[in-house]
Structure 1
Amino acid sequence: MIKLLAIDLDGTLLDKGKYISKRNIAAIQTLKQRGVEVVIATGRANFDAQNIFKDIPFDPWIIGTNGATIHKPSGELFQSIPLEKSLALTMLETLEKEQLYYEAFIEGEICAPEYGRKLLFQEMDRLHSGNPDLDIDLLRLEVEIQFGQSSFQFIPSYQKLQDIDSDIYNILTYSFDDDKLKKGWSQFTDIQDVTIVQSGIHNFHLQHKQASKGNALKLLAEELQINLSECAAVGDNYNDLSMLEIAGLSAAMGNADREIKEACSIVTKSNNEDGVAHFIEAFLLENRG
């Protein structure tokens, strides 16, 4: 019997990157009424995830920044695994030298370079010019989602973070230039205490090697005295794999890559077809009475 369900946000619970459908909300509420702990596991910062649920009667545990933080339903920090500060600053310096857009996730804020907005739109225009059949509106939506996060601010340089007494939990790097993104990725592959994961085709995340959704789910399950075999997880991307692989029941979204689908017990519908609700209704509620 499943006692805990961990749900990713972007590409999973969120429709078109912004909204939670009424059907998904209803399915989650029904599951909670039947005693199942519902946990959000996202690459977003905790405060940004909380903002998504501000108008919904739902206060979940939140595994944030790809497992670097866990917050209680009250919003209190339960556990965190930040990057080593000097190492994080060195990596940010490299990203600035390479003119790559980044977001540094710190306590209560997401910091991006002032050149970021202009850079991403320039890269988007070049990509669309070379591939006119690409859906430019979809690319613009991606950028809108990035800049629409809660507590988002532009900073003149990563050096501003040197003087802020706050941990750096995660660094997101984002680019519409594939070659540039791959070159950036290659500069961090040999750093011993850092892991690199993707949450989309245009990004990668730099985080502590012990920070992952899977490790966070394991810790939270222990805290709630729930066996991993009694946990379910649903997601769509490579940053979800660590939790999908350890959960007793796992579901890949219909919009997930083949590798994600092959790693899961079940493939549900896409995020634009209420895939989370379909998974809950078809596989978690039918046998609970």
Structure 2
Amino acid sequence: MVNLIAVDLDGTLLNERNEISKTNLESIKSAQANGVEVVIATGRAHFDVQSIFETTGINTWIIGANGATIHRPNGELFHSTSINKNDAIDVLRWLEQENFYYEILSNQSIFTPKKGRDLLAVEIDKVISANKEVSIDDLQAAVNKQFSQYGFSVIDSYQDLIDYDIDFYNVLAFSFHQEKLQKGWAHFEQFEGLSIVKSAQNNFELEHKNASKGNALKMLTNKLNVDLTNTAAVGDSFNDISMLKLAGRSAAMGNAPKEIQDYCNEITLSNTEDGVAHFIYSLI
């Protein structure tokens, strides 16, 4: 029997228009009506998740920032694991020196540099110039998706935050240049206090080494007195692996890479075919 279901957002619960379909919403309500705890587990900020669900009448536990935060259904913070501030500043200094677009997920805001959109516009021009077969619409769609989040605060530089009393939960770096991303990955995977994950083709994300969706799921099941064997999880990307491996029953989205599908017990339909609803109804 499944008592708890952890559901990823991007590429999973959200469709190609970054929306939750009526069918998926109904499946969540059905699970809750049957006494199943539904948990949203995402790299996004909890306040962004709340804005997505604002008009749905659905409240859930939220594992945010790839496991760095856990919020109760009423929005109260239950647990957080933040990056050491000195480590965060070192990360941001390097990203700024290397001309990365970045986002800093903190308590109440997603901080991003004022010149960030210009940086991405320049990258798009370079990618299109180098490869005429690349679709500018696809690149712009990726940018629009990144900026569709709720809660942005614009800063001139990471230095604006040095004297702020904030928690650094997650740092996301974004680029359309794969060699640039590879350089960043090679640089940061050597940081002992940090973990690095990939949640989409054009990014990598950094959290405290103890922050992951899997660790957050384990902590939440302890809180709710749910045996891990009675949990399920569904996702589509590499930042989902820790919770997919931990859950009693796991499903990869039909649109997930094969590497993710290989970690799971089963493969559900894609995010454009209400794969989450298909999985939830198979459980309840």
Give the TM-score normalised by structure 1: 0.96
Question: Once the two structures are superposed, what CA deviation does each residue of 1:95-147 show, in whole Å capped at 9, x if it has no partner?
Answer: 00000111011110001112210111211222233333333222212111222
Q: Which residue is equivalent to 1:121?
A: 121
DSSP 3-state at the match of 2:173? strand
* Cα distance in 2, alignment partners of residues 128 and 25 from structure 1: 38
Deviations 1:62-97 (A, max 9, x none): 000000000000100000000000110111000000
Q: CA deviation at 1:17?
A: 5.1
Name the SS of the counterpart of 1:104 in structure 2: strand
Any residues of structure 2 matched to 1:53-68 within 5 Å, and which?
Answer: 53-68=53-68
1: CA distance between counterparts of 2:215 and 2:249?
16
Paired residue type of 1:46: H
In structure 1, the gaps of 5 or more residues are none
Between stretches 97-106 and 134-143, larger displacement belongs to 134-143
Residues 1:7 and 1:150: Cα distance change in structure 2 (over 3 Å): same
Aligned to 1:278: 278
Distance 2:30 2:44 in 1: 25
2:243 is paired with a residue whose SS is helix
Q: Does the alignment pair 1:36 with 2:47?
A: no
Q: How many Å separate the matches in 1 of 2:230 and 2:261?
A: 20
Residue equivalent to 1:239: 239
Instruction: Count how many residue pairs are aligned between Structure 1 and Structure 2.
Output: 284
The AA in structure 2 aligned to 1:37 is E
Letter in 2 for 1:65: A
* One-letter identity of the residue aligned with 2:182: K
Contact persistence 1:11–1:17 (CA under 8 A):
no
Letter in 2 for 1:223: K
Q: Secondary structure at the match of 1:185?
A: helix
Separation in structure 2 between the aligned mates of residue 249 and residue 96 of structure 1, nearest angstrom: 41
CA contact (8 A) 1:10 1:17 kept: no
- Name the counterpart of 2:157: 157
Q: TM-score, normalized by length of structure 2?
A: 0.98
Distance, in Å, in 2 between the alignment partners of 1:17 and 1:259 is 25
Identity %: 51
* More divergent stretch after superposition (119-128 vs 17-26): 119-128
Q: Give the whole-Å Cα distance in 1 for the aligned partners of 2:17 and 2:235.
A: 14
- Tell me how far apart the structure 2 counterparts of residues 91 and 40 of structure 1 sit (CA, whole Å): 28
Query: Which string of whole-angstrom CA distances, capped at 9 and with x for unpartnered residues, describes residues 182-233 of structure 1?
Result: 1112111111110100000100001100000000000000100000000000
Specify the alignment match of 2:177 in structure 1: 177
User: 1:280, 1:258 → 2: CA distance?
Assistant: 21
In the alignment, residue 213 of structure 1 is paired with which amino acid? K
Mean alpha-carbon deviation: is it higher for 233-242 or for 125-134? 125-134
RMSD, matched Cα: 1.0
The structural deviation recorded for 1:49 is 0.7
**Residues 272-281 or 68-77, more deviating:** 272-281
Q: Distance in 2 between matches of 1:229 and 1:124?
A: 45
Rounded to whole Å, the distance in 1 between the matches of 2:130 and 2:7 is: 36
CA distance in structure 2 between the partners assigned to 1:265 and 1:124 by the alignment: 38
Residue of structure 2 in register with 1:264 after alignment: 264
Does structure 1 residue 103 correspond to structure 2 residue 99? no
Distance 2:186 2:53 in 1: 36
- Is residue 48–residue 151 contact of structure 1 (8 Å, CA) maintained in 2? yes
Report if the CA contact (8 A) 1:71-1:79 is conserved: yes
* 1:91 alignment partner in structure 2: 91
CA distance in 1, matches of 2:17, 2:193: 31
Counterparts of 1:33 and 1:168 in 2: how far apart (Å)? 36
State the partner residue of 2:229. Answer: 229
Q: Which secondary structure state, in structure 1, belongs to the residue aligned with residue 162 of structure 2?
A: helix
**Secondary structure of the structure 1 residue equivalent to 2:129:** helix
Aligned to 1:219: 219
CA distance in structure 2 between the partners assigned to 1:269 and 1:139 by the alignment? 25
